[in-house]
Structure 1
Amino acid sequence: MRLKTAILDSLAEEIVKYKVYPSDNEVEEVAEALVSSHPCLKEPGSATGYGGWKVSLKYKLANYRRKLKRLGCPEVELNSLTNKPVDKCTPAYGVKKPRRAEVNYCPTYPSGESAETLEKIRENLLLDVRKRNNEDTLAAMMEKTFAHRRQEVIRDAPLIADYKTRWPALFCVRELTAEFKRITTVSLLSKFFSELDAHSSKLMRVSGKKGGVQG
């Protein structure tokens, strides 16, 4: 029993490094990989040999998320029952989790900062964005308020018009590319131009088939 608990603890710790809310299929893949790598752990009499491991791992992950919530993990807190509608207050309803390529999905606040202090910086941003030759100061303030912005997007899902009113500094090329890199760790312009180069020959062939001015 102690060995099984230790195995489940280790698996849960590794899984949450990648996803706090893995899908059912992903949990099954982990359980299947476990018994494939260690045949001695295969369950006798089980159709798959890992069904029990899958169920135990799902319960272990649920318990692990409770610990993360007590430690203040923002992604778990945003998905807590207290933040869900009263008529749909179930753990499975509306779970907010990263989409593909969202590496920094819901970061924690910088050390020593809180929602209140970061909101004050956001208010100062509304004044500083009007100043000329102020790009470096804006960049530093936008970097510092990244977690505040992300939690706002995930929690409230604001309309673009409302979001632009609150964060006008974000809607310029420099800050959009910086925000994209903060979320995905990928350079937006470099990725765009590399993909454009990969498809340029096909685009030229398509354009060449068109007549008139477009061709």
Structure 2
Amino acid sequence: MQRTFSYRCQEVVHNKPVISEFVNRWPALFTVSEINAEFMCITTLPLQAKFFRQLDQYTAKLIKIFSSRGGAAGKKIRLLMAPIAKRDNIEVKRDCVIRGLCVYLNEDSNSLVKEYLTVNGEEAKREIAQTTMGIYAIRHEGADEEDGPEAVGVVIEGVEVLSNLRSISFGFAMLFGLIYTLNLSYPQELKYTFEFFQKVLMTLDGNKLSPKVQTLKIKMLQ
């Protein structure tokens, strides 16, 4: 994969292949290790290590900022943050913070993460096939929110490109890496969420921020 990196980049940029074709041509790319390697080649940054180090570093500050939000958004954020108080688990905390961030930035966390019950497997398959870009999470019926999902995967253009991931936050990190790897645009309905992770947490092209993300960054550094 390392030897074919330049050729693959040219194919992505110039041919803009549909994801189903690209998966068939380069199946080895769609693994956690190769996404990390590809991201490193493109940005010179370690995707997984930096993503979680930065997220964990600012988690307490973000939770504090979220708690000050009022109105309907504040109520929704508090519901999303509730599992943290029930279980002291780093994966649960990361998942809650990412979803809470979407709401704080006035974006719909359901556009990023779609949840399904194991009993609704056929419905999940149909909806996943219609998903442009996002993460799916499968839960057992009756399971507590703080227990985490049974299965997590990443979908692009209706294709399940990654599966059996350990958490929603891990799925988001891999989706972020795939967006760089495949030269994709951020979903318009989640542009501020992805901008925050790109420019603030991952410090990639962070000189110019939208006013909304700039305001959040200032609060984080106070």
TM-score, normalised to structure 1's length?
0.31
Greater relative CO (CA pairs within 8 A, separation 6+): 2
TM-score, normalised to structure 2's length?
0.30
Higher relative strand content:
2
